[in-house]
Structure 1
Amino acid sequence: MTVGDKLLYSPKELFDSYLHGKKYSIPPYQRGYKWDTKDIERLLKDINEFSPNEDLDLFYCLQNITLVECRDSFSVVDGQQRLTTLTVILSYLDEYGLINEKLQYNVRHETEEFLKEYIFKPSELKTIHNWEELLEIECNKGKDYDYQDIFYLFNAYKTVQTWFEANPDFVSVMKDKILNHVKLIVNLPKNIEEQELFENLNGKRVPLDGADLIRALIITRVAKKEVGDLDDSIKQNVLINERRVKIGLMLDRINLWWADDNKKNYFHQFTKESKASDENTISFNDVTYPINYLYKLYVLAYGEGVLDMEFFEKKVIEDGFLEELQLLQRTMENWYNDKVLYHLILFTSIYAREKSEDSPTLNFKELLKQWKELYRKDFIRFLKKRIANTEVFDDLIKQSERS
């Protein structure tokens, strides 16, 4: 991924300039739309609570969609739930001109009809009270809409309607946020068959890795935030691009440092504590992207140990994120390069990590906490005391005395 590549697009761009006259096509092998009430309410709540700042170009990231470009369309291989939900929300907000027939469902003919009749143009959907009433209306027209994906589409619209009716003052602000300040990361891989790509995604092996996405978020957000708003727009753009290049080079250096198998083996005792989110379809492949070792340590140090893009999307917005990440990297280099720390930390983490009567379990977060609170000599004293209180140490002393 080059520094200048554009990965982030707003819904306004996705449904307009990005398409160049094409449509988004949901292929038949995809499961139907299935976001429920809580998913949509959580999305609306998160967007509503997000505060964009024009000067800093902050945005709410709705993760990624993966597309395959065809002659007349972009086939949505991954992310159809997010793209469809955006379509439903924009329909309620009367953005019919933007979304009109730009999302094509090839799952079944009835789904296509429902979208054309109720979502892509003004309709009586707001006045229909429940699912049974919709089915009755369509039955009188000789149509059968009693399908699961149509039910979820109908429910999504009614959930959006209920949320906005409960928050009428947010309509105009939310409309601007959704159109311009929500962003999606668009993955458009080349030279790969659509079916192969779909199988890779379902097997949790996506072409775009978590390291790529985090890099894009850091380069896009941090550089603009650090430079700030200048009166001279040309100077501002030059400084932003320079900062983006420097950040990219810094991340490359970190990635290279972690490429050493000896370092991977040493820190694996900690990174094995991290785990992937059950809902995350994005891989964090530390073989292809060694920097993922650092990201795994970061979620252990500053999160709940779960590798999830949503966590990083929120952290990147915060002040000092990049400095925090760099400080963690310098700490790991310090631990690894200092011969005394290297052996004491290794021995402690293997043999003296379990909690005792007066000491908690020494996982990575707790170890890092002690390092931050103590001087080096006191940290060494802490590790030695921890080791001295273990049965392993007692056994070593006894063996030494016998010999």
Structure 2
Amino acid sequence: MEQPMFYPETLNIKRIFSDSDIFYQIPIYQRPYSWDKERVYQLWYDILEAYKNYEKNGDVDQNYFLGSLVVIKKDKSFEIVDGQQRLTTLTILFCVLRDMKLDLSSKTNIVINKCIRDDEDEIHNARLKLTTHLDNHSLFKTSIIDGISLDNESKSEENRFLKTAFYFKRLIEEANNPSSEDYIPNFQSMIDYIFERVLLIRIKCVDESFAIKLFSVLNDRGLDLNPTDIIKAYLLQKLNCKTDRESFIEVWKRIENLCKQSKENMQNLFNLYLFYSTAENPRNSLQEEYKIKLKDKEPHSLILDIENFAKNLVEIVSDNFDSDISLLKYLPNKLYWKAILATAKQKNYRDFDLLKNLIMRYFYQSWIAEGTSSRVKQTSFNIIKEVKKHSDIVDIKNVILKNLEKYESYQSFLPRQNVYNKSWHKPVLFLLEYNTQEKMSFVEISNDIHTEHILPKEWKKDDLNWSQYFTENDAKEFINSLGNLTLLSGIKNIQASNRDYVSKVDIYDGKGIDGKTRFNITQDIMKKYPKNWSVETIKERRDDMVSKIISYLTI
């Protein structure tokens, strides 16, 4: 008979914690305790509501279901895959109930102590029921388990565990205050309800892989563990020495800091490193790819290589005066270009600057021609392969041209009517702008950066004179075309939005307002067309802009 993959049990809080030989360990790959006031209060008031319903009518809310607890049976404890935040929060509640010296029965006090340690008669030598995250266990033990200083809340400022303890302290004080709306006349009864009638389904799994898969199916709020947590666990399991594990964790922390500097999350970093390592499209989940493709890598050398990769990524994205990098940052999919350039840095590719400019041109050509990420995916991996081989830049150019020749040229998209409605229109305006200035700093496309319609959308308003120069058909054809678009900051766009052309030019020039627009492509409109804006000027400007864009993007 085949062995079951998991064993579900419905247990109340008392049995979850106080049964003999029941101990819980939060593995090192789990995230630290993070519950905030909102979650703590929601837990308390949800249980309080269920308890009140039960008190009024014993047939209503006979039990309150707190969710599932997914664990893996280890030698002498359960390793928690899902439920660590709830178990930690409940343990803090037990310690607050213990230390507030409440008028609870001796039986209840015994249960409380058993839920904290395995033997209430040998408090200081007994094993803890919950051993929390390795990085914070000492803090958890000294500030919560060994006794809470409930008269000094200032100590809780930098201690998440203590913050939760003081949240519970206030809630319990309200519950015992007859003048409070949350007063509970029989507080002992509510505590009995928590231990006896609040339930969890504890699901014991035979291995970690199945436990994580089971949790992802059971829990529609998403996996608390992200793939990099699992990769971290997988690599740590390959290290037998405590010193090696501690060293590994220190490097991991440094990588997390590098991710903050590059404004990239850990999961994307590990995806980028996987692209670099394999130069092929992943076929499995990120954690499975690392287990399969990088299984022969020694954990220390691997994590140090990832750290170096992360440093290279920081160096690339931190250059705010490189126009190629600035333009690449506007791309909707940032993984592929980052993977290529970080690979080039990692491998000390000799033609890095040429490569950077080449892939900017390639990605923009593909984007303008309405290419999806799948269009550039395989070519990106092929470029990575060539970079790792230190191929000549000409060979990489040929890889790109081979891909581009399969599709309609981007050049045919630039003169079209509806450029304004394309996601690339504003980055293309910045392509023109960056090429008018030397060492222009990166401009983030935010809500303060607007696309200005020179012929405004409300061109037919009675108090405007645009109808003298444009017909309905003219406006339809040209209002959203490239030649009618430019860049303005938010306040100037509001000022210029629905005005006659001469008034608009005055605003671009900053006359009597807040200074000249900072964008050269907008200042050029004033210089070349100071008095008149017509179909002919839009066509002329559009053709000039298209010609420049082609010169900037031709490969």
TM-score by length of 1: 0.41
Relative contact order higher in (CA < 8 Å, ≥ 6 apart): 1
Q: Choose 1 or 2 for highest CA Rg.
A: 2
TM-score by length of 2: 0.31
